[in-house]
Amino acid sequence: MYPFGRPAVRRGPRLPRTDRAQAFLLGVYPGALRVRWHRPGGGRVAALAVDDEPDACPTGTDLADRVATWRGAVGWRAEWGTVEVTDPPDAARLVVTEVLDPLGVDPHAVYATHCVPTYFVKSGDRQANAIAEYDRFAATTGLPRAALHRRPDRRELVHRALRQEGRELLRQLKDADAPLVITLGREAADVFAGLAGTDRVPFRQTGTYGTPHPIPLGARELRWIPLIHPATRRGVGWRNTHTRWALEHSRGGRP
């Protein structure tokens, strides 16, 4: 359960709006709708996760409508303070501008899914701290405490995805029938390698980053491009590596 009471539910894949998918996009786990919360008395939480993420890459106007709908769903009360729209999330925008656009893939022609289809909170990060602030407030107002799953470590996340979601992910791969697979993040790459029965791909900040791999899967051969998520905070080296890859492909060096 998110702060203020919305349930965290299992997210289905985002289906393409075209007759056939150009690409199968595999992320690690879905994000969340976040709001800027001004608590009574003047405190502020800059970005608090309060509901499952929007189904499409949002604009500021879309988010304003979504937040208004969310306020109605939770029965917002004046004694809880005020909430307002945060900036549109960089993650969704960056996937389009720094992954799909360089590859010449129409965002509307993507079958997008996740290794684990529920939102996680990373222990000790800013979102975990924001939720802890909400829980302290909830304890004084009768609101329910948040109850969100904590993010497992990388190895456990991969094992959980293959063990619990493997059959469903293979079904989704078959349904998508896309010639290209794009994985975002080390965990997503390891999960896809496990699904396909192929070797894990080492991630290196070298010229091999983002190299397509031919992968036989059943009667088909797919092209697999393992990438980091362009919104990663893993360090400037990885961000620079991905930026170079995106620039090279934007100039016409598509695989």
Predicted TM-score (pTM) of this structure: 0.88
Residue 172: predicted pLDDT? 96
Tell me the average pLDDT across 62-84. Answer: 91
Q: What are the extents of the domains in the chain?
A: 3-250
Query: Residue 45: which pLDDT band, with cuts at 50, 70 and 90?
Result: very high
Residue 226: predicted pLDDT? 96
199, pLDDT greater than 70: yes
**Residue indicated by tokens 């994000």:** 31
**Residue indicated by tokens 């720094």:** 98
Mean pLDDT of the chain: 89
**Residue indicated by tokens 């917002």:** 76
CB 145 within 8 A of CB 138: yes
| Per-residue pLDDT reduced to its tens digit, 231-252 | 776 678 888 889 889 898 876 5
Q: What is the DSSP string of 56-106?
A: S---HHHHHHHHHHHHHHHT--GGG-EEEEPPPPHHHHHHIIIIIHHHT--
CATH class, domain 3-250, is alpha beta
